[in-house]
Amino acid sequence: MVEPGAALSALMICLLAVAASADIAYRIIPNWIAVALALLGMALRLPAGPYALLISLCIALAVFAGMVLLHARGVFGGGDVKLLAATCLGFAPAAANRFIFVTAMAGGVLALIHLVGRRLVRNRPPRAPPPRGSSLLRRIVSIEIWRLARHGSLPYGVAIACGGIWVILAGSRN
């Protein structure tokens, strides 16, 4: 029999993976994913008691407020703001700290990959899109090269998903 907390954690991992995929494909994180993650997070924190849920809610609100300020300065997208806060809601304070730290580290690696990619595609003529029937990976790489050449945005939802999945799999939810 699967423990309810484990099933909810697995669902949370799936939602984070979908959010990362959507961010890569469209540079948009759908609102329903943030709402679902917030509800799952509350369901995961509720067994620890109402006080634990209240603390997690306060942390998520503080993260949301800080991220809104960064969003206003153009540092993060709105989907990133919602995804980060909603994911925080499912973690106890120590796990939320680890989540933010791992997310920041993953974001740094992602930024380095993007900077290197931009240097590699600089001064390259645009390529034709891959032919119909090409593999998904080939189409994604082709689109990312096109975005890098045009200095497109960083899909930070990937870093947020990495941070959340890392903390969940490490078992440091409480």
* Average pLDDT score over the chain: 91
Confidence of residue 32 (pLDDT cuts 50, 70, 90): very high
Residue 19 CB neighbours (<10 A): 29
| Cα(105)–Cα(147) distance, integer angstroms | 23
Residue 66 CB neighbours (<10 A): 14
Q: What angle do CA 57, 169, 86 make, to 5 degrees?
A: 25
For the residues of 19-50, what is the DSSP string, one character each? HHHHHHHHS---HHHHHHHHHHHHHHHGGG-H
Cβ atoms of 39 and 87 within 8 Å: the answer is no
Q: Rounded mean pLDDT of 110-134?
A: 83
For the residues of 85-137, what is the DSSP string, one character each? HHHHTTS-HHHHHHHHHHHHHHHHHHHHHHHHHHHHHTTPPPPPPPPTT--HH
Q: Rounded mean pLDDT of 78-106?
A: 97
For the chain, give the percent of residues with pLDDT over 70. 96
Confidence of residue 148 (pLDDT cuts 50, 70, 90): confident
> What tokens appear for 1 in the block?
């029999």
pLDDT of residue 86: 98
pLDDT of residue 2: 56
User: Number of folded domains in the chain?
Assistant: 1
Asked if residue 174 has pLDDT above 60, the reply is no
For the chain, give the percent of residues with pLDDT over 90. 71
Confidence of residue 1 (pLDDT cuts 50, 70, 90): low
| Axis-axis angle for helices 93-121, 157-170 (nearest 10) | 140
Asked if residue 172 has pLDDT above 90, the reply is no
Q: Rounded mean pLDDT of 32-58?
A: 96
pLDDT of residue 173: 46
For the stretch 59-85, pLDDT in tens is 999 999 999 999 999 999 999 999 999
Say what the pTM is.
0.91
Q: Which amino acid is at 122?
A: R
Domain with 58, as residue range(s), is 4-170
